[in-house]
Chains A and B, each alone.
Chain A
């Protein structure tokens, strides 16, 4: 094995409500929410689902930036403790400063907490800490907020009691003048200083097998070279990027990987840029980063992303995880298929490119030494129409039943070319070549989409599952074609 350039730590460290802590051993490999509750006694963070599906466990993850920390809410129930390395975690107990954690009750409330009390935003109170966290992040660096903005921020927090109206009202009536930014409550310098020593070390934690649990081995590389090198030596290792998929498996499905390769510190794999006629998405870019950047480049994709998961999931989930997992409901794949995007893998032998279609065709597989490095998406050209659809049971914070992407090139009322991709109608997202071929050269009129729907009907054979029946999915494929036509 190649020797790594950097140093190695056998533990992780991060700040928790302003206090530096070190975590080693099995604890580092578990999920953050139970760690906070059981090991640190911070029971304000609630676990209502352990699936990333309710937001009760929201905490603020502060990732260091040039100027301080960027705090974002994430679901701590599916966020591995090791992924906190080098960050600042603020829980509901810590919102009013390090001296207010635990300790005597001086009754001090932050403006967000005040608004929640005054607007009667808490009933049973179980969802409330998560909501306070979300609203705190929302109000950081914000002067004004509309009901729309508040709702968008709260999409990832379920509440069974209030019906949300009082919470939205609270979100809108926060005394912004009294707000102390988190960077003032927790001045960044001492935190950054505290994180400095060992900041560039890779982390390797080995947990020996014991009488109850298997042995585990975690590696958090600092460079792509280290990552690949370790992957070659440990081809069976589970790769964790944002952890929103792997975290659920670990939190509720009993997944306990023997070997884990965390990409948490490949920070510079997160580019979202336009290079010539291509959109480049770094593997580690979170969906929040993509959504922030892509609006100016492919607005249609940005719109779709507003319906992707929840803010908390978008703050953690990454591009690579969404593609490699290749779930039928992945919201990015139909878009990538229709645009004929390419994936760039890097491995022992260097970089390799493959189209998304070929990647899916193959299984989807990659070589054991490989990691997805980035995605290159040819941008829709002048005169092309891109439309993306997502149909889900619940409007927001739900996975797709069926998703679709259409890329149409038409001139003078005639279809020159069309690319149609669907998710949720087969085990993997796919293109509909027969329907595409049928449409080519046809005039754009409402009858043609109906006919195309019939072709599509014969081209797919969807499945039934807990989200929807086969019949419904079949109808949706036909109807989304018609809807695309009707809305042209």
Chain B
């Protein structure tokens, strides 16, 4: 029976539930292993005027204290631009910025050393907000723009116009396992890293650069992560560098595990955005022209901010055709930790702006927002090209939209809500049906490639290694299924091995939802090469004299046979054993590149979906419940429906967390006030939709991609934003008609109550 399409459990689940899965901090310590931590800047911006390590050095058990002066290679590094100091030199540019790395025999010695380090930093006024950065003209890179037509002129001629500003907050990844790494020194100056990273190659490249090694001297291994969500794409690097520096200096294994607070304080998050918009539309709600100005808060360095920003622009249209459109903006440099990839990667900020605008148009025209959305969806020729030139093909979105509206009784429920809100003194309800069209591919073209190593053993079992990393998303399980099917064997006979740069080189991060697309395809390519050889071999082996024509060889249920003589079959184990005896190679590397990408086609395809949320707000406290949510997605043919459902449900809840209860608050001094789990609130079991229904289209296929599947990781997170638009919708019932709710993201109880008060004040 084929594996693909079946809901086999996550390959690690049996170990997960027994606590047997080994996460990085669970690796048994080496006999002489050191613990590593660092002392960071107490202020967000300033100058280091004094640093005295003498007292700390004397503490028993403190093995080493290192500053930028001890960095053997380049102290400057970075994912795209080399604009970050591994260890601060004379200036500091965010609170917590690492200055001194400490290596110690015990945690007690570490703590004592931290206290004994004398550090004096002269504070300067930091730039914290986007507004301050704009004022100071602190930007990263040049202005960015995508446009079509003449938005400014067109706006003048539109029958209706709305202008406004939307503030979108950031989001902490809150992967349950904090950033961590273990470095083990080897022979010939080699270093092996175990790192909880989505990007082992990045760790390898940066370690080589900063520690002054060749990439051939560095191996980075990642067995698994306790969650990544984008946060471990580039930012797994610093703890690895710290452990690596110590391992190199001391010749001893060294491990660095961030505490939750350190992680919260120093690692980057989802980018906050500010969007200034002008939108023109007609009386039916048809979008005619738009000018959207985006500003992102990048933190102190570029990291991936340029790519994140581009994706925001690429998603500013979401699923809607806007003839004249101008998308511009700047990336702001501030004194915050460097904001980074986070599931959605800017897409969410782009989408939120237009979805918020549509809610406002609905309020303005006194129409239902769902109608306006459907009216504006990309459609037939003339209305099927994005602002960046990509043609939308085989678009199922309008269909999904109508289906979901129908299945979830949108119309009746709207009616019920109208009635409820007219009478309820205590509560307000809102309903919103939104869409997501998410572009799949790295917008940086060269990243759209992958390699895989497949080893078949003589007992008919298989090991496969790819550059893809497992962070819970089920990549390894899907690869296991794909590989099993290539050899028509049971998935139990396939092991997906820890990711290592030793086996797979120059790999892209496991990101952009494309983990399975890229690594799965590469694995399949490798399998096919082996299978080709084995097919030829079987054709000889199964024949009496002349080889059987290749086309007649069938692979099925663990066996290989001649279609015309199915009774005479070779079991896979015997086949490979025999092939090995005939000196046929049972190993292969596969390489895969995403086809068809180009300047006006940044995305291989789109994953689309719709979601509908109903919320109830307490008029007095601003507290909110999601009473029901429905999701309908087109993800092609699912390789593993249960895993995809898990991605959709989990992504949605993470998205609604961003939209509602997760709030990053910084002080004017640039200190994150919500760095601790007692102040930063991710959704708990009580916050999920009380009635939660997830479906995907069963008969949809996308034959160009591996097994006709589509990527699923990020899009559902953006669907979670429908909770936010539903809140906005609920608020629209509070004010007088035509007054839009000035709701920003996150819609915490506080934000909701603020809007309610503002709207109530407008009531006569």
Q: What residues of chain A have their CB less than 8 Å away from a CB belonging to chain B? A: 37, 41-51, 53-54, 56, 91-93, 95-96, 105, 107, 109, 112-113, 116-118, 120-129, 132, 151, 154-155, 157-168, 211-213, 248, 252, 254, 389, 391, 393-399, 401, 465-469, 471-472, 475-476, 479-480, 482-483, 486-487
Contacts and interface: CB of A to CB of B under 8 A. Distances in A.
A469 B673 CA distance: 12
Given A43-B26, A122-B17, A212-B106, A394 B687 contact: yes
Interface string B1-32: 00000010110111111111111011010000
A37 B255 CA distance: 15
A395 B625 contact: yes
Interface in B457-484: 471-474
Given A117-B14, A212-B60, A394-B687, A123 B649 contact: no
A286 to B, nearest CB: 20
B261 interface: yes
B42 interface: no
Given A43-B26, A123-B650, A396-B685, A391 B19 contact: no
Contact of B9 (A51, A117, A254, A398): A117
A403 to B, nearest CB: 11
B592 to A, nearest CB: 25
B347 interface: no
A270 B425 CA distance: 42
A44 B692 CA distance: 31
B9 A120 contact: yes
Nearest to B673: A466
A124 B472 contact: yes
A334 B474 CA distance: 47
Interface string B190-232: 0000000000000000000000000000000000111101000
Contacts of A121: 17
B32 to A, nearest CB: 16
B283 interface: no
Given A48-B260, A123-B473, A91 B108 contact: no
Interface in B493-543: none
Contacts of A159: 176
Best-buried of B645, B678, B683, B753 by chain A (most CB within 10 Å)? B678
Given A51-B676, A92-B18, A475-B757, A483 B649 contact: no
B18 A165 contact: no
Interface of B: 7, 9-10, 12-23, 25-26, 28, 59-61, 106, 108-109, 111-112, 173-178, 224-227, 229, 259-261, 425-426, 471-474, 618, 620-621, 623, 625, 642-643, 645-646, 649-654, 661, 663, 665, 673-674, 676-679, 681-688, 692, 748-750, 753-754, 757
Contact of A51 (B106, B260, B620): B260
B4 to A, nearest CB: 17
20 contacts: A43-B26, A45-B19, A93-B19, A112-B17, A120-B13, A122-B472, A123-B10, A123-B646, A124-B224, A124-B226, A132-B19, A151-B686, A165-B649, A212-B108, A395-B684, A395-B687, A398-B681, A472-B750, A472-B754, A476-B753
Contact of A54 (B173, B643, B649, B677): B677
A159 B229 CA distance: 13
Contact of B654 (A128, A132, A160, A483): A160
Contacts of B28: 41
Contacts of A476: 621, 753
Contact of B748 (A126, A393, A479): A393
B677 A51 contact: yes
Given A472-B753, A479-B621, A164 B688 contact: yes
A121 B20 CA distance: 16
Contacts of B59: 211-212
B227 A160 contact: yes
Nearest to A399: B678
B255 to A, nearest CB: 12
Given A212-B108, A393-B661, A125 B653 contact: no
B20 to A, nearest CB: 7
B106 A162 contact: no
B646 A162 contact: yes
The 8 closest A-B pairs by CB, nearest first: A44-B19, A124-B472, A126-B226, A125-B16, A163-B653, A123-B472, A92-B19, A483-B620
Contacts of B673: 465-466
Given A128-B17, A389-B621, 5 more contacts: A44-B18, A48-B260, A162-B646, A211-B60, A393-B749
Nearest to A483: B620
B18 A109 contact: yes
A483 B621 contact: yes
Contact of B685 (A37, A45, A157, A398): A157
B9 A125 contact: no
Nearest to B59: A212
B111 A254 contact: yes
Contacts of A158: 176, 682, 684
Given A117-B13, A155-B684, A162-B650, A125 B224 contact: yes
A120 B23 contact: no
Given A92-B19, A212-B109, A394 B661 contact: yes
Contacts of B649: 162-166
A476 B692 CA distance: 30
A393 B663 contact: yes
Contact of B226 (A118, A125, A396, A480): A125
Contacts of A46: 19, 23, 176-177, 226
B718 to A, nearest CB: 14
Contact of B176 (A124, A213, A469, A487): A124
Nearest to B15: A125
A397 B683 CA distance: 10
Contact of B108 (A105, A117, A213): A213
Contacts of A95: 18
Given A212-B109, A393-B749, A395-B623, A126 B23 contact: yes
Contact of A93 (B16, B18, B472): B18
Contacts of A129: 16-19
A213 B685 CA distance: 40
Contacts of A151: 685-686
Nearest to B228: A124
Best-buried of A91, A127, A469, A482 by chain B (most CB within 10 Å)? A127
Contacts of B173: 160
A120 B93 CA distance: 43
B260 A391 contact: no
Given A123-B650, A125-B12, A483-B426, A467 B174 contact: no
B175 A160 contact: yes
Given A116-B17, A483-B621, A48 B177 contact: yes
A394 B683 CA distance: 7
A50 B260 contact: yes
A466 B650 contact: no
Contacts of B749: 391, 393, 401, 472
B174 A466 contact: no
Nearest to A487: B426
Contacts of B650: 123, 160-163
A161 B472 contact: yes
A412 to B, nearest CB: 23
A465 B173 CA distance: 22
A468 B752 CA distance: 12
A483 B754 CA distance: 16
A64 to B, nearest CB: 25
Contacts of B681: 393-394, 398
Contacts of B625: 395
Contact of A160 (B176, B686, B692, B754): B176
A54 B18 contact: no
B469 to A, nearest CB: 11
A474 B10 CA distance: 49
Nearest to B260: A49
A17 B342 CA distance: 40
A129 B18 CA distance: 7
Contacts of B177: 46, 48, 124, 126
